[in-house]
Amino acid sequence: MDLLNTLVDKGLRREPLSRAEALAVLGTSDDDLLDVVAAAGKVRRHWFGRRVKLNYLVNLKSGLCPEDCSYCSQRLGSTAGILKYTWLKPDEASKAAAAGLAGGAKRVCLVASGRGPTDRDVDRVAGTIKAIKEENEGVEVCACLGLLSDGQAERLREAGADAYNHNLNTSESTYGEITTTHTYADRVDTVQKAHAAGLSACSGLIAGMGETDEDLVDVVFSLRELDPDSVPVNFLIPFEGTPLAKEWNLTPQRCLRILAMVRFVCPDVEVRIAGGREVHLRTMQPLALHLANSIFLGDYLTSEGQAGKADLEMIADAGFEVEGADQVTLPEHRAAGGGCGSHESAGCGAHEGGGCGSHDSGGGCGSHEGGGVCGSAATTSSTAAPQAGEARTDLVAVRRRGAGTDLAPNA
């Protein structure tokens, strides 16, 4: 396809895509899907080789969030049967992080539900960052605590945080349909605060909430302008007990096209497959590694993920390798602060420093943060495809192990 040849050339040169080109990727047919993956895979390998960065989530404070984000299991009014607990102590959080690092993760994402941290909360997290870094030399730490007030990003940076995650989630035009207790502009402001403080900015999206192709392109282009180092791509988990419980709008093919579009728009940025990969990509997860260069290891914030051992086997079987702690994730020009575009104003198009990105909490990290993000290994073997308008409680397993419990974590 002439389109794909053009997109590969632009990706290798870090030349920004047009909106029409990004929409065309989402509009390709299933017959062309492998060609799309192969083309985007060339761009991925050019900038990141066959390395896969592993990230590990630690849910520092679970549930009871005052925000009303429709996708989140920790939201105000959620009846999801998730774990609920207050702040973990620094030694508890450090112990949880150690499990993920032992499994091969090089970044720990510290997430807490809520609108945003108080100054006292920042002090708590600073103590946790110190405990983790004292026990694990060279570890990267990303904080995901919600909306930041003036000066808080600087304090987190001084405490040793490397990155801050706060997702845009969806387009500005549809944001008010998803959340009413804060605005899209609030989220943009927090990403900018992280940037200004010298933190590596991590910001992404959630697909599958009923948005249009235009909405997806809008949010990815907005991310490109914000120029984060890492972009987590979450796929909605319709968690029972939340307003979006029956929104099963994604297929594995659709997910792959979305990841390919993000890779083409942000060719030299860390693209992370975050919440929902097990549930929506299912047996096609290995193909997604040709598009994204980063994933979460093990469980998510309030839901179970694929077994950590299975993640490692999948990476090896697909012909990829786990990125080592001594390897720099981003290409040299980005790691050196050279910006993402071939033109300074191009933004992320020519973007994510690996923040959280799981997809659940209103103020949470970005792994769809707060919400019960992924499925367990058992869910990936489900033979029945989810249908729109139908709740599928069998595809989402609530996390009952790891942080906040007495059981060993999945890593």
Which residues are documented as binding site for [2Fe-2S] cluster?
109, 142, 202, 272
139 burial level (CB within 10 Å; 0-12, 13-18, 19+): buried
Degrees to nearest 5, angle at CA 288 with 265 and 234: 70
Catalytic pick among 14, 51, 72, 282: 72
CA distances (Å), 314 to each of 106, 186, 246, in order?
18, 38, 29
**DSSP element (H, E) containing 225:** helix 213-226
Is 266 annotated as catalytic?
no
Is 348 annotated as catalytic?
no
Catalytic pick among 44, 51, 109, 277: 109
Do residues 190 and 124 make contact, with C-beta atoms less than 8 angstroms apart? no
Catalytic pick among 51, 272, 334, 399: 272
Which of 85, 367, 109, 395 minimizes the C-alpha distance to 233? 367
Catalytic pick among 51, 69, 187, 224: 69
Output Rg (C-alpha) for the chain, integer angstroms.
Answer: 19
Catalytic pick among 142, 348, 356, 365: 142
Alpha-carbon torsion, ordered 178, 224, 148, 127, to 10 deg: 120
Catalytic pick among 144, 202, 340, 365: 202
Catalytic pick among 44, 65, 124, 224: 65
Which residues neighbour 18 within 8 Å (Cβ) at sequence distance 6 or greater?
A: none
Task: Write out the binding residues for [4Fe-4S] cluster.
Answer: 65, 69, 72
From the CB of residue 225, how many other CB atoms can be counted at a distance below 10 Å?
A: 14
At residue 6, φ and ψ (nearest 5 deg) are: -65, -45
Give me the residues paired with residue 391 across strands.
none
Is 365 annotated as catalytic?
no
Is 120 annotated as catalytic?
no
Is 109 annotated as catalytic?
yes
Is 340 annotated as catalytic?
no
Give me the residues paired with residue 8 across strands.
none
Task: Write out the binding residues.
Answer: 65, 69, 72, 109, 142, 202, 272
* Catalytic residue annotation: 65, 69, 72, 109, 142, 202, 272
